[in-house]
Structure 1
Amino acid sequence: MIGDNKDSCVSKSPTGRKLEEILEKIGGFGLYQKWIFVLTCYPYFLAGFFMLNPVFILGVPEHRCAIPGYANDTYEIQGEEHLHLINLTIPRSTVEGREYDRCQMFEYQNNSLILNWLNTTDSRPMVKCNKWVYDRTVFTNTFAAQVDLVCDKEIWAANAGMIFYAGMLFGSVISGVLADRYGRKPVMYVSVLVMAAASIGLAWVTVYWLFCLLEFIIGAAITASFMPGYVISIEITSCKKRFWPGMVSNYPYAIGLLVLAGIAYGVRDWFYIELYTSFPGIIMICYWWLIPESPRWLLTERRVKEAEAVIRTAAKWNKVELPSGDLFDKNSVVEDKSNASFVQLFTHKVLCIRTVLIFFNWMVVALAYFGLALNSGNLSVDLYLNFGLSGLVEFPAYLIATYVVERFGRRIPYCISMIIGGISCVSTIFSIKYAPEGSEVITLVLALIGRLCVTAAFSIVYIHSVELFPTVVRNAGMGGASVFARAGTMIAPYIVILGESISGAMGEALPLIIFGAVSLISGITSLWLPETLNRDLPETVEDGEKFGRYNELLFYSAFSYLAHTLQFNCKLTLFTLPLI
């Protein structure tokens, strides 16, 4: 998503300004640009398959120790005799909501239970089990169940999720470097091939380390496939028309989430979920002949003829006549090297504090977004219904974000979204712990409100951040924000596994309380960032230092009045400082 303020994307190089004039002349976002945009949206659709499939692939079903020597043991009770064997072998659980202990069983000797059946008291010594049986009601099979990522290995499932999101972090960093060096198109194409091959191969993996390796590769390849594609679409669209493509590109991702929920509900086996969500990636093999290279990148590489060919193709599709002859002067084509160093974000006090706040908000909103999605299985409602509804609320979230940012600005809508989302998540403790039986719907509604608000905030924070960073450090600032966002996603699986390990009412509520609490903090701290709507955006670091510092007097007056009313004797310096 790109801010729609004209000043935010005007190039300082003569070639960039000339390209912008031509793109505007041929329609800005005409038929050709729309066609390329639709094609580059497909990787977002595939991202919806993979970014949250750990919910189903690494889901841990209800389980207990297997009865030693009982070949046909199942989690489901087969009859009175089977129930009797379970009661003699497996101790009752002391954890709320569990019937039998998940990790321990009564000690036995010589692989024979009969030797110990005479002693039926619970004072018998217990030992850790090394084999488990799983409930097949929610999942027919998951990778976590297939390799027994339970008990002492429970954290391994969270580690695998973290490794996947670490791959996305690596992909976001390396794809930008490679795309600038070798072009957007080859990086996207190679990434698609790697993603398809690794995801199909993952379905046949039976060992943990190889699973983690392929998950890392898939995570990196996903990011490296949709980011260059998005850049191609944006760089072939005129500056004035980039806002809507940036917002609409979120919808294919949400559609992918809904399709994933349907596939998972239909097959319930991680092998088939992985296969059915991997094969659609093969379609992108034909993209090499359908999507052009970015003309903006071609110009920076002095490949003027190729850039002109792309522009003339776009003009032909859009039914616009361009003059014959060269569109660009070869001798004047130079790369725009006006960007400053990432370090400059921290060399000025105001800009440094503002950068820290932006990075913090990105980390929190990503943590809350992915955490709420991964936590779908922890709630006492149907997993597939919860996940499907969570994907469905993305659509109104994007619509709300698109509407409010153009009418009410960026700062206040982000603040309100995070505060409402945070309150909704924290409030689930009351519906889980104190509401009567059958109140699961209340918990689900509160969690969905939290998801909707956080999703809207994710869209808003992108626009706000793009406009807050000065032009010369904008790419560096957004790259840093993306890194912190990925760090938030890497933390999310551990908070989810914390709730699963505690179990009971508190285990169900704890992840939501954590996500809600950090969302509240993020919403409040965002008030210290200036508004950017309808304002000239900062170009230089010095502009960024001065931007928005003295134009929110009413906000500070309110805090000063509150401090005076409460008769504080100490000076509330934090609330009387100008906006940072």
Structure 2
Amino acid sequence: METSLEEDSRTKEFDGVIFGASDQVFSRYEDSSTEVTYTYILQTAGEFGCFQRILVALTFIPNILSAFFMLGGTFMLKMQPHHCNTDWLLAIQPNLTMSQLFNLTLPRKKDGSFEECRMYTPVQWDFDSIVKYGLNDTQDCQNGWFYLSHEWSLITEFDLVCNKASERLRAYCIFVAGLFCGSLLVGTLCDRIGRYKSILLMLMFYAVFGLGAAFVPTFSIYQMFQFGIGIAIMGYTISSISLVIEWLVSSRRVHAIVLAQCFLVLGHLVLSVLSASIPHWRLLHLVGSIPVIFLVSYIWLLPESPLWLMMRGNVEKAKFLLCRAASINKRIIPPELLQKLTNEKIHQGTIMDILKSPNLRRRTLILSYVWLCIGLGYVGLSSQLHKFPINMNGSHLAFRLVEVPARLCSIISMEKLGRRKSQVLALLLGGLTCLYSAFIPEDLTSITTTLALMGQIGLSAAFTIACIFSAELFPTGLRQVGLSFVSLSYSIGVIGTLLIESLDHDHPETFMTVCGIMTTVGGLLCILLPKG
């Protein structure tokens, strides 16, 4: 089938990549005359002056909230030890100890522990007869549950145990569905209304759904709010990365994105500290999310992307923002240089532009698979924390602390080895350690924990490198669409984690085996990506 010259030239325009002196991958748009002029003006305005530092810091702060909302459910929905409420016997004999009450009213499992969802059927006997003859008939819990922990979580408030235990998994699935929808919508949203307005909209979602979740009257409403939070997290992540990338020259982007990931880790650490000191889930959610109120100031503080304004034909506003940035950086942009900015619009591509180009199509499919593996492994390893021989807060803290050196070392790795080799090595480290740990006996806790931490290091570095590599491999006109498309795969990976975990009780090695094989294959596939 013949194509028009316009379609053919557009496909070629999106298809090529050019390698700079530092072997960094740039799209043709970033090497076109418009982009070179824009990059040169950014350098003239100050590569990383006071303006860029403030902008980067502002976009990083909400990442702390993102981390809190993303993993808050790990603590607020963690299972609590419980048994059926059998206080009917206290009406007959009120001075019983807890041990006596359980021994008389709760059946035991094969391992000798008390049943959590079954109880002996109440009888109208006197206490001596109950002690002498015992109880035999059992039934499901009828009068609620007794919780052994003093923590007031979502589990205890809404009784999400026994026949309602599946509500916990449903809440996670609804949250991931929000991530999926956020990935699907934010690319188009950023291109239509801009990076600035997209960020403000996502921050409004944080305020409404994040802060509002602390006041929900029912668990069904809480699940609805989790969907909104999922949209906000993914939407803010993509739109903020786009804004930062388009305000920085290429040599500064890596450090900015890695630092943004470190702020995510800081949010995880804050969550660990708060969850250890605040036993009530509503108060924990309120304390963790109330800083979103101060983000209303972003209406006046954040700028729009000059590159997006140029793509929309609003060159005068772009010039104004660039001059303001130069003024804050105590630099001056020569007027003759500003005049080189024209009203020429850069083509806004769609997913069809990616699929029609063989090189971009292959590149996108590989990146999508890589993001799927990262979502599967990174979130899955976090869900395995309860299996390690230290308490939940301690294991969560240890896992997050190892992420900081992993992400910082990824900077050195990318500078010395390039993007592609760094991505391959990080995925292989994460995949092989997960695969090895699947065959280590559970009683060898020190080896299991060490391998899990090594897997976390590899997957954390892979996540950071993938953010940078993916943003650079897509042309400017397709960057939003491309990032949205590959982030969909991340959401699918998280969903896969939940599905695999449902089998984990009977097959504990299933998750690590699947994660290890898929991630190792993803690392090998990255060899086919362009050298970066």
Give me the TM-score of the superposition, normalised by structure 2.
0.85
Give the aligned partner of residue 447 of structure 1.
452
Task: Provide the secondary structure at the position in 2 that maps to 1:11.
Answer: helix
Give the aligned partner of residue 394 of structure 1.
403
Q: Which moved more, 1:396-405 or 1:33-42?
A: 396-405
Contact 2:27 2:473 in 1 (8 A): no
* Deviation, structure 1 residue 55: 0.7
Aligned mates of 1:142, 1:254 — CA distance in 2: 23
Task: Provide the secondary structure at the position in 2 that maps to 1:52.
Answer: helix
The one of 495, 511, 514 aligned to 1:514: 511
The one of 30, 34, 37 aligned to 1:11: 30
Aligned mates of 2:184, 2:295 — CA distance in 1: 22
Aligned mates of 2:502, 2:178 — CA distance in 1: 20
Is 1:126 aligned to 2:138, yes or no? Answer: yes
Deviations 1:293-339 (A, max 9, x none): 11112222333332222111111122212234792468x41321163
Task: Provide the secondary structure at the position in 1 that maps to 2:57.
Answer: helix
Aligned mates of 1:338, 1:174 — CA distance in 2: 15
The one of 135, 160, 183 aligned to 2:148: 135
The one of 98, 104, 114 aligned to 1:100: 114
Give the aligned partner of residue 526 of structure 1.
523
Contact 1:410 1:533 in 2 (8 A): no
Look up the equivalent residue of 2:247 and give its one-letter code.
Answer: I
Task: Provide the secondary structure at the position in 1 that maps to 2:83.
Answer: strand
* Deviation, structure 1 residue 340: 5.9
Aligned mates of 1:475, 1:169 — CA distance in 2: 15
Written as runs of structure 1 = structure 2, the 5 A alignment for 1:210-359 is 210-324=221-335, 327-328=338-339, 332-337=342-347, 339=349, 341-342=351-352, 344-345=354-355, 348=358, 355-359=364-368
Contact 2:182 2:231 in 1 (8 A): yes
- Label 1:430 to 1:344 Cα distance change in 2 as closer, same or farther (>3 A): closer
Contact 2:180 2:491 in 1 (8 A): yes
Aligned mates of 1:59, 1:395 — CA distance in 2: 25
Contact 1:410 1:531 in 2 (8 A): no
Deviations 1:322-374 (A, max 9, x none): 234792468x41321163643653774x8656544432221111111011112
Contact 1:167 1:217 in 2 (8 A): yes
Contact 1:13 1:336 in 2 (8 A): no
* Deviation, structure 1 residue 180: 1.7
Aligned mates of 1:450, 1:225 — CA distance in 2: 27
Aligned mates of 1:415, 1:236 — CA distance in 2: 28
Of Structure 1 and Structure 2, the greater helix share is in 2
Contact 1:359 1:484 in 2 (8 A): yes
Contact 1:56 1:264 in 2 (8 A): yes
Aligned length: 508
- Label 1:417 to 1:232 Cα distance change in 2 as closer, same or farther (>3 A): closer
Over the matched positions of the two proteins, sequence identity in percent amounts to 27
Contact 2:66 2:264 in 1 (8 A): yes
Gaps in structure 1 of 5+ consecutive residues: 73-77, 536-580
* Deviation, structure 1 residue 156: 1.4
Task: Provide the secondary structure at the position in 2 that maps to 1:242.
Answer: helix
- Label 1:352 to 1:291 Cα distance change in 2 as closer, same or farther (>3 A): closer
Written as runs of structure 1 = structure 2, the 5 A alignment for 1:22-41 is 22-41=41-60
Contact 1:261 1:387 in 2 (8 A): yes
Look up the equivalent residue of 2:512 and give its one-letter code.
Answer: F
Give the aligned partner of residue 391 of structure 2.
382
Look up the equivalent residue of 1:368 and give its one-letter code.
Answer: G
Look up the equivalent residue of 2:163 and give its one-letter code.
Answer: D
* Deviation, structure 1 residue 466: 4.6
Is 1:478 aligned to 2:483, yes or no? Answer: yes
* Deviation, structure 1 residue 46: 1.4
Give me the TM-score of the superposition, normalised by structure 1.
0.79
- Label 1:474 to 1:345 Cα distance change in 2 as closer, same or farther (>3 A): farther
> RMSD across aligned C-alpha pairs, in angstroms?
3.2
Q: Which moved more, 1:160-169 or 1:102-111?
A: 102-111
- Label 1:10 to 1:357 Cα distance change in 2 as closer, same or farther (>3 A): closer
Aligned mates of 2:447, 2:519 — CA distance in 1: 25
Give the aligned partner of residue 64 of structure 2.
45
Gaps in structure 2 of 5+ consecutive residues: 1-21
Task: Provide the secondary structure at the position in 2 that maps to 1:335.
Answer: coil
RCO comparison, higher one (Cα < 8 Å, 6+): 2
Contact 1:147 1:206 in 2 (8 A): no
* Deviation, structure 1 residue 524: 3.1
Aligned mates of 2:472, 2:241 — CA distance in 1: 19
Task: Provide the secondary structure at the position in 2 that maps to 1:127.
Answer: strand
Q: Which moved more, 1:371-380 or 1:156-165?
A: 371-380
* Deviation, structure 1 residue 265: 0.6
Aligned mates of 2:417, 2:350 — CA distance in 1: 31
* Deviation, structure 1 residue 392: 0.6
Is 1:365 aligned to 2:397, yes or no? Answer: no
Look up the equivalent residue of 2:485 and give its one-letter code.
Answer: G
Written as runs of structure 1 = structure 2, the 5 A alignment for 1:151-170 is 151-170=162-181
* Deviation, structure 1 residue 390: 1.0
Contact 2:238 2:484 in 1 (8 A): no
* Deviation, structure 1 residue 214: 0.7
Q: Which moved more, 1:517-526 or 1:463-472?
A: 463-472
* Deviation, structure 1 residue 531: 5.8
Look up the equivalent residue of 2:167 and give its one-letter code.
Answer: W
- Label 1:135 to 1:375 Cα distance change in 2 as closer, same or farther (>3 A): farther
- Label 1:400 to 1:13 Cα distance change in 2 as closer, same or farther (>3 A): closer
The one of 473, 483, 492 aligned to 1:487: 492
Is 1:89 aligned to 2:89, yes or no? Answer: no
- Label 1:355 to 1:325 Cα distance change in 2 as closer, same or farther (>3 A): closer
- Label 1:172 to 1:198 Cα distance change in 2 as closer, same or farther (>3 A): same
Contact 2:432 2:520 in 1 (8 A): no
- Label 1:395 to 1:112 Cα distance change in 2 as closer, same or farther (>3 A): farther
* Deviation, structure 1 residue 393: 0.9
- Label 1:411 to 1:147 Cα distance change in 2 as closer, same or farther (>3 A): same
Give the aligned partner of residue 564 of structure 1.
none
